[in-house]
A and B are shown apart, each in its own frame.
Chain A
């Protein structure tokens, strides 16, 4: 007996076993993926504030990446006789009390700050989306327990815990990096920076996990997901093909918002004296170092402060625009 409705699938009852193993692929793979990205890009391009922010971000990246290569000085080079200079032709941003050129220090500082932002966003994305996806897919008791853990971490004031964890892991981490040959390649990064990554990785992923889980729960109910599940698609394929691409918009938007907040927090840690370790400098540590000599040498504060505020501002505005562009249904702020 052939039902008219079953014409849509070239199968009859009992035929499922005879199907090719990758049948689910031909039937339910996503085809409008390009359309989504293209239309998002169009929406983003129309947002003037976001585009200006993007240009600023790109300019700052160029400044940070190419600057130190072109500069005649290195970030820890002490030019004797050039101590405490105000901005001049030779040193456009001036020098500090050890005779180090502030422009090149700002450039490498921008590198470090951007690195802090981007790497923590990636860490948060990986941990958060995997955790959230697993929790949402498993459902039931496992989901409840996993989300309770998230709730607890979420309601703990993170800035306090960041300070405490950072204080504690600094010393052991330095020993580890310096003494264990396996970790020697990390020496260049400095233990302060690695500690910051670890701390962010411990705490900041919960927001991302919640968002991804919510999205997964919603998608699980969609007919096309049920359809490919019924056609025998393995879980891994479901995640790669349906869940991840559909969560991507929210994941990217959340990641973009994580970047400025990570840079902001690093600046705060630098103010407390527990940011990246010297002689390395981030924009946060440059500004907080300048704090003590603010009356005599305000120029030392000026450039890194303007840079860090500009970076955070540009990422905030761009993130806002990106979220609106990627998720026009939920235009909320």
Chain B
């Protein structure tokens, strides 16, 4: 069956991509000169013991094999710098729960605001509402996340004192969620608008109108349904943009999520942690993209999968 074959191909591509990013990250991280214990005030002897303990004295290819094997069992190694000796899988599972709680809320907000506004813009093309929505969405995708975060903090928290500065107090979630949601919301608006406009020009709508179907029914039954389908494909990139947005929102507002860990790991040059989080995020994004593509394929079998 053609459909099954296509899906199988897509799954294979996802697997290869994931494998590629694991491999690239592993070897890149090992190019960096020195070992994680360089900065320690340990004697040569203890350093040698530590290196032997973590298997860093073995040839690179052996280390790589072991890394893959461990990864397969959900073991991503140990953090050497930031949280000495703690397993990265524990750090990831603990802090990712926080990120997910924020991210899901932002995701829902983005869909609930972005899609309807995009529909309005598309249906009222050229009118004032369309103009306003287009301007807002263009501005929204042009402001870097941390600038938005700083402005929100300055206006809402410091000057108006409407919301607490730090996460954890009641209402502390609001600002991080706004920062996370703005870019995807604006992107969804543009996408929905474009999709609606494309469907509105299709011949089958003309046919329905010619057959005497009311304008309201044409739009709600045919146009909206068909124009919302392509938006499914954006859900994968949407996840990715909320994750990267999380780096910014979580560090600015001090949310103990995985994004903040990643940023801290970068400034502390905690390479194993960077590697762990990268692989974890990559797996997540690739899986989301995979699910979206398959879903899209099932809904609209005409589409050629990448």
A313, CB-defined interface residue at 8 Å: yes
Give B138 Cβ to nearest chain A Cβ, in Å. Answer: 6
Q: In angstroms, how far is the closest chain B Cβ from the Cβ of A324?
A: 12
The reply to whether A273 and B267 form a contact with Cβ atoms under 8 Å apart is yes
Find chain A residues with CB under 8 A from B247 CB. Answer: 268, 271-272
B140 CB to nearest A CB, Å: 10
B263 lies within 8 A of chain A by Cβ: yes
> A116 CA to B81 CA in the complex, in Å?
32
Q: Bound state CA distance, A167 and B247, in angstroms?
A: 16
A308 with B263, Cβ < 8 A, contacts A157-B240, A164-B28 known:
no
Q: Which residue of A lies closest to B198 (CB)?
A: A332
By beta carbon, the residue of chain B nearest A158 is B240
A112 at the interface (CB under 8 A from B): no
Min CB distance A18 to B, Å, is 46
State whether the Cβ of A309 lies closer than 8 Å to any Cβ in chain B: yes
Assess whether B266 is in contact with A154, with CB atoms less than 8 Å apart: no
Docked CA distance A268–B194 (Å): 27
Taking the closest CB of chain A, its distance from the CB of B283, in whole angstroms, is: 10
Cβ B17 vs Cβ A308 within 8 A: no
Interface membership of B171, Cβ < 8 A: no
Q: Verify B17–A167 contact, CB threshold 8 A.
A: no
Query: Are A157 and B142 also in contact (CB < 8 A) when A291-B252, A309-B147 are?
Result: no
Cβ of A75 within 8 Å of any chain B Cβ, yes or no, is no
Contact assessment for A167 and B139 in the assembled complex, using a CB-CB cutoff below 8 Å? no
CB proximity of B45 to chain A, nearest CB, Å = 28
Q: Specify which chain A residues have a CB less than 8 angstroms from the CB of B198 in the assembled complex.
A: 332
Stretch touching chain A among B86-94, B106-114, B150-158, B205-213: B150-158
When C-beta atoms are compared, the residue in chain A nearest to B144 turns out to be A267
- A155 with B194: CB separation less than 8 A: no
Residue from B138, B151, B282 in contact with A317 in the complex, judged by beta carbons closer than 8 Å: B138
Partner of B28, one of A168, A301, A317: A168
Docked-complex contact B267 and A305, CB < 8 angstroms: no
Let me know if A298 is at the binding interface, CB within 8 A.
yes
B267 / chain A contacts, CB cutoff of 8 Å: 272-273
Bitwise interface map of B from 30 to 49 toward A, beta carbon under 8 Å scored 1, else 0? 01110000000000000000
* Interfacial chain B residues near A273, Cβ < 8 Å: 266-267
Docked complex Cα distance between A305 and B14 (Å): 38
**Which residues 19-76 in B have Cβ within 8 Å of A in the complex?**
20-21, 24-25, 28-29, 31-33
Query: Bound complex: CA of A167 vs CA of B272, how far in Å?
Result: 13
A252-272 contacts to B, CB under 8 A, are 260, 264, 267-268, 271-272
Instruction: Tell me the complex Cα distance, A167–B29, Å.
Output: 9
Cβ–Cβ contact B24 & A155, under 8 A: no
Cα–Cα, bound, A34→B58 (Å): 64
Q: Chain B CB within 10 Å — which of A156, A157, A274, A291 has the most? A: A157
Contacting pair A154 B142 (CB below 8 A): no
Find residues 116-159 in chain B having any chain A CB closer than 8 Å to their own CB: 138-139, 141-147, 150-151, 153-154, 158
In the assembled complex, B274 has its CB within 8 A of some CB on chain A: yes
Q: A287-B147, A294-B154 are in contact. List 13 more A-B contacts (CB 8 A).
A: A151-B17, A151-B306, A161-B24, A163-B266, A168-B28, A272-B247, A272-B267, A287-B146, A288-B146, A291-B150, A291-B252, A309-B147, A313-B142
User: Could you list 9 A-B pairs, sorted by A, with CB under 8 Å?
Assistant: A148-B13, A155-B286, A157-B285, A161-B25, A168-B32, A305-B147, A309-B139, A313-B138, A313-B139
Task: Give me the 9 closest cross-chain CB pairs, A-B, nearest first.
Answer: A313-B142, A312-B142, A333-B194, A305-B147, A157-B285, A155-B17, A267-B144, A168-B28, A309-B143
- A positions within 8 Å CB-CB of B: 148, 151-152, 154-157, 159-161, 163-165, 167-168, 171-172, 260, 264, 267-268, 271-274, 284, 287-288, 290-291, 294-295, 298, 301, 305, 308-310, 312-313, 316-317, 332-333
